[in-house]
Structure 1
Amino acid sequence: MTEVARAAATELDNNVGQGGQVVLDRLVSLLDLERIEENIFRGVSPPHSPVRVFGGQVAGQALVAAGRTVPSERTVHSLHAYFIRGGDPRVPIVYEVDRIRDGRSFTTRRVVAVQHGKAIFALSASFQKAEPGIEHADEMPDVPAPETLPTVQERIEGYPALEGLHSRPRPIDLRYVNDPPWVTRGTGSPATRNQVWMRADGTLPDDQLLHVCVLAYASDMTLLDSPLARHGAYWELDKVLGASLDHAMWFHRPFRADEWFLYDTESPSASNARALATGRFFAADGTLIATVVQEGLLRVL
Structure 2
Amino acid sequence: MAKRVTIFDPQPPDHSKAIIENVLDLTPVVDLGPDVFTNTRPLWHPPGARGIYGGAAIAQSLAAAMRTVPADFAVHSMHCYFVLAGDSEIPILYHVERVRDGRSFGTRTVQARQRGRPIFTTTLSFSRVGSGGDKTVEHAVPIPDVALPEEAEPGTLRALSNAGGGPFESRKAGILNRNSPNPEDKKVRRFIRARGHISDEGGYQAHLSALAYITDSYFIGTISRVHDIPRFSSPAELEKLLKALKNPSDLDDEDITRALKELKEEETSELRRRLEGALNKATNGHKEKDHKAVGMMVSLDHSIYFHNPWAFRADEWMLTEMESPWAGEGRGLALQKIWSKDGLLIATCTQEGVVRLKQEKPPLSKI
Q: Do both share a fold (TM > 0.5)?
A: yes
Q: How far off is 1:244 after superposition?
A: 0.8
- Letter aligned with residue 32 of structure 1: D
For 1:128-139, list aligned pairs within 5 A: 128-131=127-130, 132=133, 133-139=136-142
Q: Which residue of 2 aligns with 1:258?
A: 315
Q: Which residue of 2 aligns with 1:34?
A: 27
Q: Does 1:283 align with 2:279?
A: no
Q: Which residue of 1 aligns with 2:206?
A: 210
- Letter aligned with residue 58 of structure 1: A
Q: How far off is 1:137 after superposition?
A: 0.8
Q: 1:67 to 1:48 in 2, by over 3 A?
A: closer
- Letter aligned with residue 247 of structure 1: H
Q: How far off is 1:48 after superposition?
A: 5.3
Alignment equivalent of 1:146, drawn from 136, 146, 149: 149
Q: 1:189 to 1:248 in 2, by over 3 A?
A: closer
Contact 2:19 2:196 in 1 (8 A): no
For 1:1-301, list aligned pairs within 5 A: 3=8, 5=10, 8=13, 25-36=18-29, 37-44=33-40, 46=42, 49-50=45-46, 52-131=51-130, 132=133, 133-147=136-150, 170-178=166-174, 192-206=186-200, 207-237=203-233, 238-253=293-308, 254=310, 255-301=312-358
Give me the identity figure in percent.
36
Cα distance in structure 2, aligned partners of 1:56 and 1:29: 15
Contact 1:53 1:89 in 2 (8 A): yes
Q: How far off is 1:136 after superposition?
A: 1.4
**SS of 1:104 mapped into structure 2:** coil
Q: Which residue of 2 aligns with 1:13?
A: none
- Letter aligned with residue 42 of structure 2: P
Q: How far off is 1:240 after superposition?
A: 3.2
Q: How far off is 1:251 after superposition?
A: 0.6
Q: Which residue of 2 aligns with 1:18?
A: none
Aligned length: 271
Cα distance in structure 2, aligned partners of 1:197 and 1:250: 19
Cα distance in structure 2, aligned partners of 1:40 and 1:197: 34
Cα distance in structure 1, aligned partners of 2:221 and 2:165: 20
Higher relative contact order (CA 8 A, sep 6+): 2
Contact 2:171 2:191 in 1 (8 A): yes
Cα distance in structure 1, aligned partners of 2:57 and 2:11: 15
**SS of 2:228 mapped into structure 1:** coil
Q: Which has the higher strand share?
A: 1
Q: How far off is 1:27 after superposition?
A: 2.8
1:162-212 Cα shifts (integer Å, max 9, x gaps): xxxxxx8532110111169xxx89x98978111001111110023111111
**SS of 2:150 mapped into structure 1:** helix
Report which stretch shifted further, 125-134 or 54-63.
Answer: 125-134
Q: 1:140 to 1:171 in 2, by over 3 A?
A: same
Contact 1:264 1:279 in 2 (8 A): yes
Cα distance in structure 2, aligned partners of 1:80 and 1:239: 27
- Letter aligned with residue 142 of structure 1: D
Cα distance in structure 2, aligned partners of 1:199 and 1:209: 16
Contact 2:113 2:119 in 1 (8 A): yes
Q: 1:287 to 1:26 in 2, by over 3 A?
A: closer
Cα distance in structure 2, aligned partners of 1:92 and 1:48: 12
1:111-136 Cα shifts (integer Å, max 9, x gaps): 00000111000011111111142221
**SS of 2:121 mapped into structure 1:** strand
1:212-245 Cα shifts (integer Å, max 9, x gaps): 1111110000112221112111212344311110
Give structure 1 stretches of 5+ with no counterpart.
10-20, 155-167
Q: 1:268 to 1:188 in 2, by over 3 A?
A: closer
Contact 1:275 1:295 in 2 (8 A): yes
Contact 2:43 2:56 in 1 (8 A): no
